């Protein structure tokens, strides 16, 4: 493989959804490679023609059964190191959902649960997830999550 071929990796758009309730953040544990047994926000790759916010809302429902709405861009990552051989542009959205909707693991999710930012730091999760959890704690939750 030439150096030119190394730099032409296709960028894959992806999105994640962050849903917060009572100081806890909805997380899923992946059941499929390459992220098997890792914790993450519900999310995944965009479908053809889909806007990043649409991807986040769709993936939230596919992986947890929760119908989200009102997405607001929270973070953007140009990810290569977390996914060797792949290149993702990840848009992370804060979303809202009706309080009566409960999360259940579906699709690529082995488990779904609610975690404080401190608990997320101890999980097997990508650095981008831990960074978002830290930002949520400092910018949105303050000391409530301790």
Which residues span the domain enclosing 91? 3-145
pLDDT in tens, 5-14: 455 678 899 9
pLDDT in tens, 25-61: 999 999 987 788 999 999 999 999 999 999 999 999 9
Count: domains in the chain: 1
pTM of the model: 0.88
**Any idea which residue has 């953007």 for tokens?**
76
**Any idea which residue has 């030439």 for tokens?**
2
CATH of the domain at 110: 3.90.79.10
pLDDT at 144 over 70: no
Predicted confidence band of residue 4 (pLDDT cuts 50, 70, 90):
very low
**Any idea which residue has 């978002």 for tokens?**
132
pLDDT in tens, 66-116: 999 999 999 999 988 665 677 899 999 999 999 999 999 999 899 999 999
Whether the CB-CB separation of 70 and 95 falls below 8 Å is answered with yes
Give the integer Cα–Cα distance in Å for 52 and 90.
9
Give the integer Cα–Cα distance in Å for 47 and 68.
18
């Amino acid at each position: 493989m030439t150096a030119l071929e190394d730099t032409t990796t296709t960028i894959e758009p992806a999105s994640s959804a962050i849903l917060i309730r009572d100081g806890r953040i909805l997380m899923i544990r992946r059941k499929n490679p390459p992220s098997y047994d890792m914790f993450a926000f519900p999310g995944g790759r965009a479908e053809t023609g889909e806007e990043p916010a649409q991807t986040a809302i769709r993936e939230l429902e596919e992986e947890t059964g929760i119908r989200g709405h009102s997405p607001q861009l929270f973070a953007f990552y140009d990810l290569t190191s977390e996914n060797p051989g792949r290149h993702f542009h990840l848009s992370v959205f804060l979303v809202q959902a009706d309080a009566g909707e409960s999360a259940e693991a579906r699709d690529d999710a082995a488990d779904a649960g609610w975690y404080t930012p401190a608990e997320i730091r101890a999980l097997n999760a990508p650095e981008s997830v831990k960074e978002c959890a830290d930002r949520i704690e400092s910018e949105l939750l303050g000391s409530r999550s301790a």
